[in-house]
Amino acid sequence: MGAGARWRHPLVWAWAATVLVFMYVPALCLLLASLTSSRYFIFPITKWGVAWWEKTFDSLEIHALFRTSISVALCLTVVAVVIAFCGALAFARYQWRGRTLFQRLVLLPIFFPQSVLGLALLLWFSALGLDLSWRTAVFAHLVWIAPVVTLVIAIQVYSFDPALEEAAFDLGASRWQVFREVTLPVLFPGVFSGALFAFLLSWGNFPLSLFSTGADTTIPEYLYAKMVAGYTPGVPVLGTVSTVGAAVLLLVGYLLIRLGRRSRRDDAVERT
């Protein structure tokens, strides 16, 4: 029995289907829970409707939430990618004294419990007399997300042949031209994935935001607060939008990478 035949075995399919169901049914329930016209959470749903969707989208409060979450995630993405790109080169590209120590230190914040990290940051912010807002949240997210993005980009850097830079330099390119023409484009898929990671991790982050946003509120914070007290079907609506938004972003990102590769090839073909 070959590998191909093994993959076609019905049990394999049954197992895969079970895993998928366990992973995605909760998200589906979220969508179903939002499609009620009742004020309360009753399952199974007796009266269907999209009233809560309309209400949610019309709410100014919700608009403010989106603005805050997007501001935090976008600012964080830009800063995290710049820091992580340099960090990834130090992590994986260059041999230097203290590299091993650096690698350990970079990894450490990832395994630190985020709620503790959030509290520690809050103490620092108040010690330094900083006013809490979405800007401090960017910093707080950075402490946890920059290391993750560093790792994501470092994976790409590990597969980078340093001879590529030497070859470009040898062919007359300046250091800056080497970076622009070779290093950055070759590492770009890693940088792009890193940016997606940064945005999505910030978008969904709750524990760090809780301690660092002050008067501003992000979507996960709002969802939590509403679930603790004051549930309305607006919660699953917002949850669904947030989840689907993230999924769409991932999908678009993936398509962009594929499209980018193809267009580069087509460009070259057209020039022939």
Partner 1 sequence: MSQTHILRLDSVVKRFGGLTAVNGVSLAIAEGEFFTIVGPSGSGKTTLLRMLAGMDTPSSGDILLRGERINDMPANQRPTCMVFQSLALFPHRTVGQNIEFALKIRGVDAATRKARALELMAQLRLPADYYGKSVTKCSGGERQRVALARSLAYDPAILFFDEPLSAIDYKLRKTLEKELKDIHRETGKTFVYITHSLEEAMVMSDRIGVMCAGEMVQVGTPDEIYTAPRTRFVSEFMGDVNVVPVRLGPDGRLHSDDPPSVFKAPTLPEGFARGHLVVRPESMRFVERAEQADNHVAGRLYNEYALGSRIQYQVRVGERVFIVERLRQQAFAGRLDDAVLIGWDAANSLVVGD
Angle between helices 234-271 and 60-88 (to 10 degrees): 50
Nearest distance in Å: CB 239, partner 1: 39
Q: Candidates 76-84, 111-119, 138-146, 263-271 — which segment interacts with partner 1 by CB under 8 A?
A: 263-271
Smaller CB separation from partner 1, 139 or 169: 169
Which of 182, 195, 210, 238 touches partner 1 by CB under 8 A?
A: 182
- Select the residue interacting with partner 1 from 11, 101, 108, 269 (CB under 8 A): 269
Whether 68 contacts 134, CB under 8 Å: yes
Among 63, 185, 248, 251, contact with partner 1 (rule: CB under 8 A): 185
**Is 36:233 a contact under the CB 8 Å cutoff?**
yes
Q: Measured between alpha carbons, how far is 163 from 76 in angstroms, rounded to an integer?
A: 33
Distances (CA, A) of 89 to 20, 29, 148, 185: 37, 43, 14, 14
Cα 78 to Cα 57: distance, rounded to the nearest angstrom: 28
- Contact between residue 6 and residue 15 where contact means Cβ atoms under 8 Å apart: no
CB of 188 to partner 1, least distance (A): 8
Does 263 bind partner 1 (CB under 8 A)? Our answer is: no
CA 59 vs CA 29, 39, 53, 62, 71: distances in Å: 23, 16, 10, 5, 19
Query: Would you count residue 265 as binding partner 1 (CB under 8 A)?
Result: yes
Residue 99 or 265: the one with the smaller Cβ distance to partner 1 is 265
Q: How far is the CB of 191 from partner 1 (least distance, A)?
A: 13
Indicate which single residue of 54, 61, 131, 166 sits in contact with partner 1 (rule: CB under 8 A): 166
Q: Check binding of 157 to partner 1 (CB under 8 A).
A: no
Binding site for partner 1 (CB under 8 A): 161, 163-164, 166-174, 177, 181-182, 185-186, 188, 264-265, 268-272
